[in-house]
Amino acid sequence: MKPLYREILTVGITTGVVLLTQDRPFPWSLWTAVAASLLLPVRLRWPWLASLLCIPAIAGGLGWAPALVAQYRLGRKEKSIPVQLFWVVFMTVAATLTVLLTESIPLGPLLLTTAFTFGLAAAPTALGALVTARKDLTQSLYEARRARAAELEAQETSARAAERARIAREIHDAVGHHATLIAVESAALAATASDPAVRETALRLRALAKESLAEMRAALGLLNSDTSYPSLQELIDRARVAGVSVTLSETGDAALSPAVSRALFRVVQEALTNVTKHAPGATVTVTVDRATPVRVSVVNGPGELPPLGDGGGAGLHGLSERVRLAGGTLTTSYRADGGFSVSAVLPPGKSKVDGQDSTFGGGARSSANA
């Protein structure tokens, strides 16, 4: 409903209630109540003024209809509880004081009348304050959810960036090593060759290798890293030494690209790390099928000891990015028995990291994109 129509309806209903009231205690009761009803729109800007205009109408006995509307608005907009209480008491005094001046009633009925009047003035005020509090709480919860979503997105973005940086460093190390050997051996060939054409070709190869290495370093923006990977069996043996009950099952003999091999290693490593932190004492089964596509699965049962970690971190986010860049997909899920499952499907050869043909040029182009 439009605001204008809502105000017309509010003023019309309250004025109609006043006009339909037959009992008019004082000659001025009717016109003060009608005036308070007609002036209700001022509550939208000055709620206290609307309550003040209702005081004479309440004293006249016909002002409760506009007073309820004015007090509800006061409760919605006025944040100070003492101010809200002041207007409730003010209306209560205005209503009971008229009764005391015009009638003689016993103390008991007077106290009952005062309590009823206080409740009548306080109820719409409290309702308005509760509606405002609920609205503010809803807004706060929404902001908290939005902040949490932004934080999770930032963590995931950071995990992707970190994983890409690690992959870039590995590409730099592997390709840079071979490019350096080409440059060194070309320089040696140029120094020992007696044929000018061979010497010129060797020097040209050395220059191209150095230029390629410089361009790759500039594109990656990384320094050399000494990251190295043990074999999968060595990783399993280390986990067993650390007290993890793990079983390894390997099938298939498909040749894997370096990036896919590293991604497979990372899947198993991260899964075993999570078991150690979050499910100590659990039994773990590692299954690797080196077929087409390559499938790796790490399944653990429920832990027998309290978790060592708090469930935080971005390991799985980074691992998902690593697998995605290798051209595969990662799936994680909780099991019905209380355990956890990590599985990945990877291509046996080509990947986004390896490029088109696992050569120097293909790897450099893909690493720059990564």
What pLDDT score was predicted for residue 117?
86
pLDDT, mean of residues 349-370: 36
356 burial level (CB within 10 Å; 0-12, 13-18, 19+): exposed
pLDDT band per the 50, 70, 90 thresholds, residue 229: low
Angle (CA) 312-299-329 rounded to 5° is: 75
* Domain range 232-346, CATH architecture: 2-Layer Sandwich (3.30)
The 3-state secondary structure of 269-280, one letter per residue: HHHHHHHHHHCC
Could you report the per-residue pLDDT of 64-120, keeping only the tens digit for each? 889 999 999 999 988 888 998 999 999 888 888 887 777 777 888 788 888 888 888
Task: Name the E strands within the chain.
Answer: 245-251, 283-289, 294-300, 329-334, 340-346
pLDDT band per the 50, 70, 90 thresholds, residue 340: very high
CATH 3.30.565.10 domain position(s) in the chain: 232-346
What pLDDT score was predicted for residue 332?
92
Q: Is the pLDDT of residue 359 over 80?
A: no
Could you report the per-residue pLDDT of 184-224, keeping only the tens digit for each? 888 888 888 888 888 888 888 888 787 777 767 766 654 43
Q: Is the pLDDT of residue 226 over 60?
A: no
Least confident range from 194-208, 330-344, 355-369: namely: 355-369
